[in-house]
C-alpha cells in the first residue's frame, strides 16, 4: 500500500490574517456548540421544555444528556488541532441530523432549517483557513 505525502508548500501559503480568521471562525463554532452541549448536559429538562413539539424529539432528559454528550465529544475532538478533521466530520453528521429534523418538521428554511448548514460552513471554513494540509487536499480552483 502506498501513501501520498501532502506537501504543505504546495498548499499555498496562508497569511497570518487568514489563519487568525480561521481560528476565529473555529472559536465561534466551538463556543456555540460547546454551550449547546453544556446546556443539554446541565439542564436537560429546560432544553426539553423549550423544544418545539413539531420537532418530535423525545422530552426525556436522558435523551438530551445523550445528545449533549455526543455533541460535546464531537466539539472537543474539533477543538483539539490533532483531531480537528475527525471532529469536523462528526460535527457535520450531527448537524446534518439537525437539518433533517427541521426539514421534516417544516421549520422556517432560512432561520431554523439551514442553521446547521451555517454552523457546518463555519466549522469547515475555519478548519480550511487554519490548516494548510486541508488546503492542499481541498484546494480552491481558479
* 140 has a pLDDT exceeding 60: yes
Confidence of residue 14 (pLDDT cuts 50, 70, 90): confident
Read off the C-alpha cell for 107: 421549520
pLDDT category at 28 given cuts 50, 70, 90 is: very high
Which of the pair, 39 or 16, is modelled with greater confidence?
39
Residue 141 has pLDDT above 90, yes or no: no
Domain boundaries, the chain: 16-133
Write the pLDDT tens digit of every residue in 106-131.
999 999 999 999 999 999 999 999 99
Amino acid at each position: 500500500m502506498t501513501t501520498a505525502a501532502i506537501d504543505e508548500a504546495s498548499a499555498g501559503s496562508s497569511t497570518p490574517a487568514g489563519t487568525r480568521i480561521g481560528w476565529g471562525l473555529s472559536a465561534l463554532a466551538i463556543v456555540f456548540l460547546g454551550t449547546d452541549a453544556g446546556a443539554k448536559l446541565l439542564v436537560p429538562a429546560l432544553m426539553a421544555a423549550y423544544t418545539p413539539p413539531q420537532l418530535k424529539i423525545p422530552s426525556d432528559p436522558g435523551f438530551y444528556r445523550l445528545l449533549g454528550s455526543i455533541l460535546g465529544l464531537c466539539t472537543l475532538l474539533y477543538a483539539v488541532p490533532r483531531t480537528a478533521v475527525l471532529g469536523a466530520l462528526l460535527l457535520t453528521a450531527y448537524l446534518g441530523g439537525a437539518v433533517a429534523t427541521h426539514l421534516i418538521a417544516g421549520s422556517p428554511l432560512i432561520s431554523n432549517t439551514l442553521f446547521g448548514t451555517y454552523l457546518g460552513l463555519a466549522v469547515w471554513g475555519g478548519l480550511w483557513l487554519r490548516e494548510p494540509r486541508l488546503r492542499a487536499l481541498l484546494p480552491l480552483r481558479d
